[in-house]
Structure 1
């Protein structure tokens, strides 16, 4: 797992272009404002939906485990991606901006 490129939340701007690979209920409860939602199981079929950026594309899940596997796979496919260390739990701890789909106060499930 050490060969997976990672980035610390503190290195990311609040409005970073990021792919969130969590499930729909996790996404709905709270996600980064500029994130794109592509659940982990959908990534291979939705590669054309990955945002294009001049920087490495950040990939996030709740804790970094699922996104780490996605990053590892995407790197093998030739994508320039990084795993967000500590996931959305770290995002929340760092006080980064969150929004929810429900209108409720955003949280990380």
Structure 2
């Protein structure tokens, strides 16, 4: 299944790893905000989310870091890149 299909068909959970302030300025509908700096502390919460996780941020850099960390911990996740791209896929 492609990343686009996962997003479009709501097969997983969209996690925005930007700061709370950035998230409040605009985000993907139904996404949840877990800032990159809080990923380790909120790992148990992340484990209970519907997988796969689609991680997004402003450019794809922070979501890439989160994807690397979480995949090493056994979490099924993808780097969705910019939240604007994820939003676009969801709206198609």
On whether the aligned pair clears a TM of 0.5, the verdict is yes
TM bracket, shorter-chain basis: 0.7 to 0.9
Q: Could you tell me which residue of structure 2 aligns to residue 37 of structure 1?
A: 33
How does 1:1-109 map onto structure 2 within 5 Å? 7=3, 10-11=4-5, 12-13=7-8, 17-50=13-46, 51-53=48-50, 55-85=51-81, 87-91=82-86, 94=88, 96=90
Q: Which has the larger radius of gyration?
A: 1
Q: What displacement does 1:96 show?
A: 4.5
TM-score by length of 2: 0.78
Aligned length: 87
TM-score by length of 1: 0.67
Q: What displacement does 1:89 show?
A: 3.1
Q: What displacement does 1:41 show?
A: 0.3
CA–CA distance in 1 between the matches of 2:89 and 2:14? 17
Q: Runs of 5+ in structure 2 lacking a partner?
A: none
CA–CA distance in 2 between the matches of 1:82 and 1:96? 15
Q: Runs of 5+ in structure 1 lacking a partner?
A: 1-5, 98-109
